[in-house]
Amino acid sequence: MGSSSKRTIISSVENTMNEHTAKLTVISMNPEETFLIGKIIGRNLIEKDVVALVGDLGTGKTCLTQGIGRGLGVPDEYQITSPSFTLINEYQGRMMLYHFDLYRLSRTSEMDDMGYEEYFFGQGVTVIEWADKVKGILPDETLFVLINYTDENERNIIISGQEKKIATISEELGNGGF
């Protein structure tokens, strides 16, 4: 992780109640680290994966999504920003990235109106900012990323989901992301 590569960024991995899921806690010290965590997540996503991002405004959900996009092979010339006037932006990487930002969503039924299933179960991966607003429609296998503000540049990031995926992400983080 650049100059801070010697730092151990993993605080803990634990198995959750369900034997097939696990939880990983990571401390990010700056936006670059959050980006790298996203990139590692992105590299390990497969078609139809859904990533649910939960965290207050300004915690780093878009920053993490930018990393996910690069990990998915979205070329650098495509700037990944939060969709402001639509609920979704699409980017082409080694597969499609469907980036939802539900900050302005007022009713879950708006998701039905836009045919969200075409994205969730389509030929790409879905990343959702403010995913806590649509908990009820998230697939069982959803990868959750909870970002908590701890200090101006520090974030506590909890990643939970399928045990195998968490194990791979954890291993790559332990290797400094390479």
Residues that bind ligand ADP (CB under 6 A): 28, 30-31, 33-34, 55, 57-63, 129, 153-155
Query: What secondary structure, in 3-state letters, does 62-87 show?
Result: HHHHHHHHHHCCCCCCCCCCCCCCCC
Task: Give the whole-angstrom CA distance, residue 128 versus residue 114.
Answer: 14
88 binds Mg ion (CB under 5 A): no
In whole angstroms, the minimum distance from the beta carbon of 158 to Mg ion comes to: 18
66 binds Mg ion (CB under 5 A): no
62 binds Mg ion (CB under 5 A): yes
The upper half-sphere exposure of residue 138, i.e. CA atoms within 13 Å in the direction of its Cβ, equals 23
Kindly state the tokens that stand for 140.
């069982």
61 binds Mg ion (CB under 5 A): yes
Question: Which span (25-33, 77-85, 86-94, 144-152) binds Mg ion, by CB under 5 A?
Answer: 77-85
Torsion-angle region of 38 (φ positive above 0: left; ψ -120 to 50: alpha; else: beta): alpha
Report what 59 binds from Mg ion, ligand ADP, none; CB cut-off 5-8 Å by kind.
Answer: ligand ADP
Interface with Mg ion (CB under 5 A) = 61-62, 82, 129
